[in-house]
């Protein structure tokens, strides 16, 4: 039986700031489509004119412009979010979204969807992100892989894909393309494992494989007293700076 196709959308956004509750808006959406871990060449890309609570053009600060390179003048003739919301949702609907730091992007997306719903007729309401997509957060995946969350820049360098995309500015489509290459490399071991596990046509991939009793024993290396104390000191520093450590003493 052929495997069901898995459709992934690698997604990134650019915004006018870091908190939608302070009135900040999405100004760029970049999406890259993958099917069964292969890039299809289908993308969704939109620049968006940000509006404030009164429906007037929101003017960005220069320090924000310096990050993504999108100026107020450049965005002036672009559509506002309500003009692209349906085509955007149609592109991502039913897919698995791959996002680095999904809490940020999904937070902005749901804020935009909620704003759209608040000013439109009942029959034109749009869903929230989790209603139409499942989400993989590569920030969390990097924590599982490396022991701590890693930036997209770090992952791109680690997997040696940082030279595949010109990132003079952190554009949404550019970063989505880079994340696609990172994700392929990040999950390559999973693909290899799945292929090898199903390579024997007489073996059911769901069968339980039991290890023999005479297998080599796993070596367990425990932390020393000094290492435990250093770990405790590090957690105290994190707490003093207002963080909430995930690890316990």
129-176 residue pLDDT tens: 999 999 999 999 999 999 999 999 999 999 999 998 887 767 899 999
- Check residue 210 and give its pLDDT: 60
Q: How far apart are CA 182 and CA 106, in angstroms?
A: 20
- Check residue 206 and give its pLDDT: 47
Other C-beta atoms lying within 10 Å of the C-beta of residue 138: 23
On average, the pLDDT of the chain sits at 85
- Check residue 246 and give its pLDDT: 60
Burial 167-190 (b: 16+ CB within 10 A, else e): beebbbbbbbbbbbbbbbebbeee
pLDDT digits (tens, 9 = 90+) for 86-142: 999 999 999 999 999 999 999 999 999 999 999 877 678 999 999 999 999 999 999
243 has pLDDT over 70: no
- Check residue 3 and give its pLDDT: 53
- Check residue 194 and give its pLDDT: 46
- Strands 26-35, 7-15: pairing is antiparallel
Q: How far apart are CA 69 and CA 47, in angstroms?
A: 12
Catalytic residue from among 24, 45, 111, 170: 170
38 has pLDDT over 80: yes
pLDDT digits (tens, 9 = 90+) for 168-197: 767 899 999 999 999 999 988 765 444 444
- Check residue 235 and give its pLDDT: 73
200 has pLDDT over 60: no
- Check residue 220 and give its pLDDT: 73
Paired residues of 31 in beta bridges:
11, 44
- Check residue 56 and give its pLDDT: 95
pLDDT band at residue 12, thresholds of 50, 70 and 90?
very high
- Strands 96-99, 7-15: pairing is parallel
Residue 170 annotated among the catalytic residues of the structure: yes
Longest dimension (CA), the chain: 73
Q: What does residue 228 show for φ and ψ, rounded to 5 degrees?
A: -65, -40
- Check residue 240 and give its pLDDT: 65
């Amino acid at each position: 039986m052929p495997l069901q196709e898995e459709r992934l959308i690698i997604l990134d956004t650019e915004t006018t700031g870091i908190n939608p509750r302070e009135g900040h808006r999405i100004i760029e959406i970049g999406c890259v489509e993958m099917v069964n871990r292969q890039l299809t060449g289908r993308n969704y890309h939109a620049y968006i004119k940000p509006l404030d609570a009164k429906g007037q053009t929101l003017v960005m600060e220069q320090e924000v412009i310096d990050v993504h390179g999108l100026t107020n003048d450049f965005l002036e003739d672009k559509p506002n979010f309500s003009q692209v919301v349906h085509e955007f949702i149609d592109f991502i609907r039913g897919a698995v979204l791959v996002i680095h730091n999904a809490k940020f992007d999904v937070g902005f997306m749901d804020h935009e969807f909620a704003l759209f719903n608040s000013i439109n007729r009942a029959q034109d309401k749009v869903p929230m992100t989790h209603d139409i997509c499942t989400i993989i957060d590569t920030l969390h995946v990097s924590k599982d892989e490396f022991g701590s969350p890693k930036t997209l820049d770090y992952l791109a360098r680690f997997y040696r894909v940082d030279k595949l995309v010109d990132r003079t500015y952190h554009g949404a489509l550019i970063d989505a393309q880079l994340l696609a290459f990172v994700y392929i490399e990040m999950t390559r071991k999973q693909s290899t494992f799945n292929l090898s596990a199903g390579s024997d046509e007489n073996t059911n991939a769901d069968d339980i494989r039991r290890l023999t009793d005479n297998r080599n024993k796993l070596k367990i290396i425990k932390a020393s007293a000094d290492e435990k104390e250093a770990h405790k000191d590090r957690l105290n520093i994190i707490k003093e700076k207002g963080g909430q450590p995930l690890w316990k003493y």
